[in-house]
Amino acid sequence: MYCPDISEKTTMVMTTEDIVGHVREWSLDRAADMSVSKEDARSILAEFYEWIEPEGDELEIVSLESED
């Protein structure tokens, strides 16, 4: 699933904590959006579950740097 909302907003200069917090809030808001089907809401929650309910203090985050 491609989401321009996430891609567009996370390309700004942000700390890792800011990005995780933003994506967590986005995924919860999007899943709660009444215009989203229940199937799509479940898919969003499944995709971002480890960011919504992290186990322990660490998350594995992989990011790519632009070659610009």
Dist. CA 55–CA 57, nearest whole Å: 7
Q: What is the pLDDT of residues 3-62, one digit of tens each?
A: 555 555 445 577 877 888 888 898 888 889 888 899 999 998 888 887 777 777 766 777
pLDDT score of 54: 74
In which region does residue 56 sit, left (phi positive, over 0), alpha (psi from -120 to 50) or beta (all else)? left
pLDDT for position 1: 43
pTM over 0.75: no
Closest residue by Cα to residue 66 from 13, 24, 20: 13
Q: How confident is the model at residue 68 (pLDDT cuts 50, 70, 90)?
A: low
Domain ranges of the chain: 4-52
